[in-house]
Amino acid sequence: MQALDHNAYLALRDSAQVLEADRFGDKVLQLRNGNFLKLFRRKRLLTSAALYPYAQRFADNASALQQRGVPCPQVLAVYRIKSIQRDAVYYAPLPGLTLRQLFDKPELAASLRTQLGEFVAQLHDSGVYFRSLHLGNIVLTPDKHLGLIDIADLKCQRRALSTQKRMRNFQHILRVDTDRAWLEQQPDAAFFQAYAHSAKLSLSGCELKARLHLST
């Protein structure tokens, strides 16, 4: 993480488009060169976020995902901006459209559900636990691969996820009603079947789906 003084910050964000903000200020900026600057508020209390800033987590997670062959944003720099009490990650965005942006493409839905099931199995088998795993954070790239964005809230471990962690992560995927409805549109449970087959579970896709419904 490197220090960025106020003048350098102002120059970097000159003519930027604000993509996301809250009552505390800007959160995500698209810069003139097309790259993104994601800002994180500095925590004053002694918390995990203060000890391990989210901007650095984002960068470390990008590196871990790349090592596992998972497409994700390319981190260019991590900054500490004392003048505005923010940490920031500067990155090239992952090109493509989120799966939510593809809801209105019914001709892609069947193949995407299968591809998504295989992708989530790949994540779990490679030890990736993404608490913000929803269809707004999964991108279909121009070369038709699936990748992840907004990756600060993610952990990678050396071993495959346990069954308990897999089931818990499915609850994250299914907690948004529109995402859940899209995943369940096919009566043959294509998403769940693809996951169960790729992850080599002892459960069938339909059994996995039923188990998840019982735990919601």
118 and 137: one domain? Answer: yes
12 and 115: one domain? Answer: no
Report the candidate in 173, 137, 169, 150 with the shortest Cα–Cα distance to residue 54: 150
Among the candidates 38, 72, 92, a domain finishes at 92
Sorting pLDDT into bands at 50, 70 and 90, what band is 205? low
107 and 204: one domain? Answer: yes
Among the candidates 92, 115, 143, a domain finishes at 92
15 and 109: one domain? Answer: no
* Rounded Cα–Cα distance for residues 58 and 19 (Å): 18
pLDDT value, residue 30 = 97
Neighbours of 140 (CB within 10 A): 22
pLDDT tens-place string over residues 173-190: 988 999 988 888 776 688
State which residues form the domain around 103.
Answer: 97-214
105 and 184: one domain? Answer: yes
Among the candidates 46, 74, 92, a domain finishes at 92
Sorting pLDDT into bands at 50, 70 and 90, what band is 46? low
pLDDT value, residue 213 = 64
51 and 110: one domain? Answer: no
Report the candidate in 90, 104, 169 with the shortest Cα–Cα distance to residue 137: 169
52 and 102: one domain? Answer: no
135 and 36: one domain? Answer: no
Sorting pLDDT into bands at 50, 70 and 90, what band is 109? confident
pLDDT value, residue 49 = 63
85 and 108: one domain? Answer: no
61 and 15: one domain? Answer: yes
Rounded to two decimals, the pTM is 0.88
Give the CATH number of the domain where residue 172 resides: 1.10.510
Number of structural domains the chain divides into: 2
Average pLDDT in the 28-47 region?
87
64 and 142: one domain? Answer: no
117 and 64: one domain? Answer: no
Average pLDDT in the 98-123 region?
93
Give the CATH number of the domain where residue 13 resides: 3.30.200
Neighbours of 46 (CB within 10 A): 8
